[in-house]
């Protein structure tokens, strides 16, 4: 059986034609599952009994299973979803003034091996299917329907920064983006969707031609090849000069500002010397720097005690930067922490 949540509208139209159905049936089904949130084909009352019978033989509307939910004192929620093959992934809901943002996973495990990242402590088992990514957003949104404030019942922003490297699952992630952006789908604006990569250069260049104006974030974290080679193996394949060249090509093609993510690790990359190296590295690039407090996960790294000093130095040197508000520190909100704990129990 095929999970209906795994189809873009165009793919579903093509499938309908192959079944000798009218292509507009795809639009009808999209509206039923994404606008009216039905959980049964029998509720699709404008489809006709014969059509519904045929569709039920081919498609399923099966959901993921919520294995565990954690709620932080600051309102951040973390969900551990169990997949059909008993693997688990994590999704995080964050509440901001501008709306509800959900951080989704793209793989079961990760092969990038970044030393400070909990999601890379276990190698990739497999890529997530499109429907498994779509359902992360949809099911978290379902959990919000009892919110008193109507504005808090809908996911307004999606960040593709959870477990896994999105560009290592490129085609599925692109289809996922098209579904959640589709006006008949979840209708999340392209500029409200951010994809983060640790630096797979060929895919950055390919992504420059993707038709939607999705935000691109680069998990930079270190301002030199020496540090990046030590803590981020991807840099040995695509060193900083190659990465920065691809980013400049991306900007030339899209004119979209780049976000550089920089997790502050105590006495590793949080010195004024590192700040100066970072400023020199990104000079001339239309970007902003998102400084991230460390969520300690494996005991090897500590959160920086100099985050404000680092931020102030960048700011004083005219670098557009933010110091991310810490969220979910009391519920293991770093990518992969909850999944690892569940695996250790087993």
> How many C-beta atoms surround the C-beta of residue 125 within 10 A?
12
Tokens of 110: 């990760």
pLDDT tens digits, one per residue of 170-213:
999 999 999 999 999 999 999 999 999 999 999 999 999 999 99
Residues 47-86: b if buried by 16+ CB within 10 A, e if exposed: beeebbebbeeebebeebeebeebebeeebbbbbbebeee
Question: What pLDDT does 325 receive?
Answer: 72
- Exactly one of 13, 88, 90, 110 is catalytic; which is it? 90
Cα separation, 191 vs 278, in Å, equals: 26
Fold of domain 2-60: DNA polymerase; domain 1 (1.10.150)
65-345 under CATH 3.20.20.70, yes or no: yes
> How many C-beta atoms surround the C-beta of residue 148 within 10 A?
6
Question: What pLDDT does 122 receive?
Answer: 81
pLDDT band at 338 (very low <50, low <70, confident <90, very high): low
Q: Is the pLDDT of residue 40 over 90?
A: yes
Instruction: Return phi, psi of residue 197, to 5°.
Output: -130, 150
Q: Is the pLDDT of residue 339 over 70?
A: no
Q: Is 114 a catalytic residue?
A: no
Cα separation, 320 vs 239, in Å, equals: 24
Question: What pLDDT does 336 receive?
Answer: 52
Question: What pLDDT does 332 receive?
Answer: 59
pLDDT tens digits, one per residue of 211-249:
999 999 999 999 999 999 999 999 999 999 999 999 999
In what helix (H) or strand (E) does residue 171 lie, and over which residues does it extend? helix 170-181
Question: What pLDDT does 282 receive?
Answer: 98
Nearest residue to 309 (alpha-carbon basis) of 266, 342, 247, 338:
266
pLDDT tens digits, one per residue of 105-162:
999 999 999 999 987 778 999 999 999 999 999 999 999 988 777 778 899 999 999 9
Q: Report in angstroms the alpha-carbon separations of 83 from 86, 185, 235.
A: 5, 22, 32
Give the highest mean pLDDT range of 93-97, 250-254, 326-330. 250-254
SS3 at position 177: helix
Please report, for the chain, the start and end positions of each structural domain, with discontinuous segments joined by +: 2-60, 65-345
Residue carrying structure tokens 């979910």: 328
Q: What global pTM score does this model have?
A: 0.94
- Exactly one of 114, 274, 287, 335 is catalytic; which is it? 335
List of long-range contacts for 170-177, beta carbons under 8 Å, 24+ apart: 170/203, 170/206, 172/106, 172/127, 172/128, 172/129, 172/130, 172/133, 173/106, 173/133, 174/210, 175/6, 175/8, 175/11, 175/130, 176/130, 176/133, 176/134, 177/210, 177/212, 177/214
List, in sequence order, every residue forming a beta bridge with 215; answer none if it has no partner.
194
Query: Which has more confidence, 328 or 132?
Result: 132
Instruction: Return phi, psi of residue 60, to 5°.
Output: -130, 155
Q: Assign residue 221 a region (left: φ > 0; alpha: ψ between -120 and 50; beta: otherwise).
A: left
pLDDT tens digits, one per residue of 301-314:
999 999 999 999 99
Q: Is 90 a catalytic residue?
A: yes
DSSP string, 42-79: GG-TTS-HHHHHHHHHHEE-PPPEEEEEEE-TTS-EEE
> How many C-beta atoms surround the C-beta of residue 240 within 10 A?
18
Tokens of 262: 């920089």
Q: Do residues 188 and 181 make contact, with C-beta atoms less than 8 angstroms apart?
A: yes
pLDDT tens digits, one per residue of 44-72:
999 999 999 999 999 999 999 999 999 98
């Amino acid at each position: 059986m095929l999970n209906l949540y795994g189809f873009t509208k165009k793919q579903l139209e093509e499938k309908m034609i192959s079944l000798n159905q009218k292509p507009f049936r795809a639009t009808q089904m999209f509206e039923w599952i994404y606008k009216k949130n039905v959980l049964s084909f029998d509720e699709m009352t404008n489809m006709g009994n014969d059509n519904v019978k045929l569709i039920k033989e081919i498609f399923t509307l099966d959901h993921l299973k919520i294995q565990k939910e954690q709620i932080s004192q600051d309102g951040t929620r973390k969900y551990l979803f169990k997949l059909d093959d008993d693997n688990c992934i994590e999704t995080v809901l964050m509440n901001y003034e501008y709306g509800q943002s959900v951080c989704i996973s793209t793989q079961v495990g990760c092969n990038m091996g970044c030393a400070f990242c909990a999601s890379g402590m276990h190698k990739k088992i497999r890529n997530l299917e499109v429907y498994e990514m779509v359902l992360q957003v949809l099911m978290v949104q379902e959990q919000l329907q009892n919110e008193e404030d109507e504005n808090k019942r809908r996911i307004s922003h999606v960040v593709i920064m959870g477990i896994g490297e999105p560009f290592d699952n490129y085609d599925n992630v692109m289809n996922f983006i098209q579904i959640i952006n589709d006006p008949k789908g979840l209708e999340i604006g392209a500029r409200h969707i951010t994809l983060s990569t640790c630096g797979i250069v060929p895919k950055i260049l390919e992504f420059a031609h993707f038709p939607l104006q999705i935000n691109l974030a680069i998990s930079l974290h270190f301002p030199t090849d020496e540090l990046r080679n030590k803590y981020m193996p991807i840099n040995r394949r695509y060193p900083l000069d190659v990465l920065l060249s691809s980013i400049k090509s991306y900007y030339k093609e899209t004119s979209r500002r780049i976000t550089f993510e920089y997790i502050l690790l105590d006495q590793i990359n949080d010195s004024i010397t590192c700040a100066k190296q970072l400023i020199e590295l990104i000079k001339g690039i239309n970007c902003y720097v998102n400084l991230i407090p460390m969520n300690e996960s494996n005991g090897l790294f500590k959160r920086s005690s100099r985050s404000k000093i680092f931020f102030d130095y960048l700011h004083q040197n005219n670098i557009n930067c933010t110091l991310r508000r810490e969220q979910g520190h009391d519920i293991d909100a770093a990518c992969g922490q909850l999944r690892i704990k569940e695996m250790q129990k087993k």
